[in-house]
Amino acid sequence: MSSRTSWLGPGMTRRLLTAVAAGAAAELAALGLIGAAAWLITRAAEQPPLAALSVAIVAVRAFATSRGVFRYAERLAGHDVALRAQATTREKLYRALIPSGPLGHRGADLLSRMVDDTDAVQDLLVRCLLPAVAALVSAVAALTAAAFLLPAAALALLAGLLVAGLLLPTVTAAAARRWSARLAPARAELAARVADLVHGSADLAANGAGDQALTAAAEADERLAALERRQARANAAALALGTLAQGLTAAAIVLLAQRSGVGQVATAVLALTALVSFEPVLPLAAAGERSAGVTAALRRLGEIRATPPAVPEPSEPASPPRAPLTVEVDDLVVRHAPGRAPALDGVSLRLTPGKRVAVVGPSGAGKSTLLSALMRTTGFESGTIRINGVDVRELSPDDVRASITGLTQDPYVFRASLRDNLRLAGPEAGDEELAGAVRRARLSGWVERTGWDAMLGEDGRTVSGGQLQRLALARALLHDPEVLVLDEPAEALDGGTADALMADLLDATHGRTTLLVTHRLHGLEGVDEIIVLEGGRVVQRGHHDELVTVPGYYRDLWESEALTTAG
């Protein structure tokens, strides 16, 4: 139960219990109503004095009214709790996913969980748990009443209820597994559609283009839903078989009652009570079909939920920072896990409007950690980060990321035209603006050769590492954040291509608040400050001209780079 209740937010367990109790009470009222009504009608046919019927008349009224009230309460509380649980689940999943940054190959799987699996929470409550409890209560009450009147009838009823409530749901659950094989191709199509969305999650987030990509995924989702509707029709056939079992059971009970001579009144009460006791049992066939998927979906969601959010949202976030932005980092300490050495240890830096700062250092020095802390995808242990004087812990992490963003470490090419690949960073951008960004990213030649409408991405035209970085740079320039972050733009490029890219990139970022993480020093003469990180600490800082004159990491790297270029 603990894994289930963990999907419920505060106060939801009480709501769920209310729904269960109301559902059970509604079924009991329905049974009471039919029993009392059957007794009343058949007894009235015997024309007794009116006083002999008065209790039954009151009972019928009471059951009829209370059934409606209980049913209403059950629907209200049940759907309330289910929708709340689903909303809580989605929110918790997003919160668990967003700060984790690029999802890489895990992304496709994670996204399909977001699309399909969160429905399982609602289904579990509304279509499985509540109906099962209601059916059980109703069946036990009807069997008890029948056993009291005629044990043989109770046995017939038990047989019928077992067929409809146990056998059919088991069969539909097995059929559901077979159906999943037919649904697989449709799911694969959906997965292909959302692959762009998934692999490019970091770029989408960085460029604010999530909605557009989500629409394409939603359409594929609709096609899958059409197939699922066919599956639903097959399940309706199972439901019809349940109805057949219901009719046969009632007929058998009438025969048994007549043979046993319990009288007309008892026969009517038995037969009608039996009929009604099937009503909550019949939907269990559909619940059986769903339960197989629900269990698997909940298990998958549990795995994601196990990841705690890296950065908590403040309870009352301060209003988003307004341009121009000054970002001040003071004595920042970041530790990725308790007990581990800090990844950043006492780092300070100041980004004023228009200032360009480069962060260099060996692998594992803490460069990416610094960017994550600034973009609020990683929390920090001590020190402060202030934007225009406001502590970032008082700001919503989303607001921080809206202002401090740019070129992520693994830019993604979407399966779309070159134009659309750029436009995701600026949906409103006209051709002029697109061409401007392409020009500043020094990509015009390639774009002219390739054509604005050429398809890129999976199955499309291949894009080289350098072109990919320039495409991402053009996107970042179009998106135009207050603080442009460039994370290792020249990584994985060969020396000449890397130097050319760095030179163009530094050209394009002139006058723009920029934080550049790089392992190539070529061109850094132009930036305002260079910070050298080693083992999470700032070991050197200053202008290029100063740093090359003193012994240390910077000068060593500069000299080895110069040697390689010369060689």
Interface with ligand ADP (CB under 6 A): 336-337, 343, 361, 363-369
Q: For the CB of residue 101, give the shortest distance to ligand ADP in the complex, in Å.
A: 9
Can you read off the two tokens belonging to residue 194? Answer: 């959302």
Query: How far is 203 from 388, CA to CA, in rounded Å?
Result: 26
Where residue 547 falls (left for φ over 0; alpha for ψ -120 to 50; beta otherwise) is alpha
Q: For the CB of residue 367, give the shortest distance to ligand ADP in the complex, in Å.
A: 3
Query: CB count, 10 Å around CB of 28?
Result: 20
Residue 183 or 539: which CB sits closer to ligand ADP?
539
Query: CB count, 10 Å around CB of 242?
Result: 24
Residue 443 or 516: which CB sits closer to ligand ADP?
516
Residue 189 or 534: which CB sits closer to ligand ADP?
534
Residue 20 or 373: which CB sits closer to ligand ADP?
373
Query: CB count, 10 Å around CB of 254?
Result: 17
Q: For the CB of residue 361, give the shortest distance to ligand ADP in the complex, in Å.
A: 6
Helical residues (DSSP H) of 353-488, grouped into ranges: 367-374, 397-403, 418-423, 431-440, 444-450, 465-479
Q: For the CB of residue 358, give the shortest distance to ligand ADP in the complex, in Å.
A: 13
Rg (CA), the chain: 34
Q: For the CB of residue 336, give the shortest distance to ligand ADP in the complex, in Å.
A: 3
Longest CA pairwise span in the chain (Å): 117
Q: Is 383 helix (H, G, I), strand (E, B) or coil?
A: strand
Residue 306 or 566: which CB sits closer to ligand ADP?
306
Residue 99 or 165: which CB sits closer to ligand ADP?
99
Q: For the CB of residue 325, give the shortest distance to ligand ADP in the complex, in Å.
A: 23
Residue 85 or 371: which CB sits closer to ligand ADP?
371
CA 192 to each of CA 106, 196, 198, 216: distance values in angstroms, whole numbers, following the listed order? 14, 8, 10, 11
Residue 347 is classified by DSSP as E
Can you read off the two tokens belonging to residue 472? Answer: 């991402």
Query: How far is 540 from 521, CA to CA, in rounded Å?
Result: 14
Residue 253 or 304: which CB sits closer to ligand ADP?
304
CA–CA–CA angle 162, 164, 166 (5° rounding): 50
Query: How far is 374 from 352, CA to CA, in rounded Å?
Result: 14
Q: For the CB of residue 347, give the shortest distance to ligand ADP in the complex, in Å.
A: 11
Residue 242 or 406: which CB sits closer to ligand ADP?
406
**Residue type, position 331, single letter:** D
Q: For the CB of residue 344, give the shortest distance to ligand ADP in the complex, in Å.
A: 8
Q: For the CB of residue 380, give the shortest distance to ligand ADP in the complex, in Å.
A: 13
Residue (of 430, 436, 480) closest to 208 by Cα position: 480
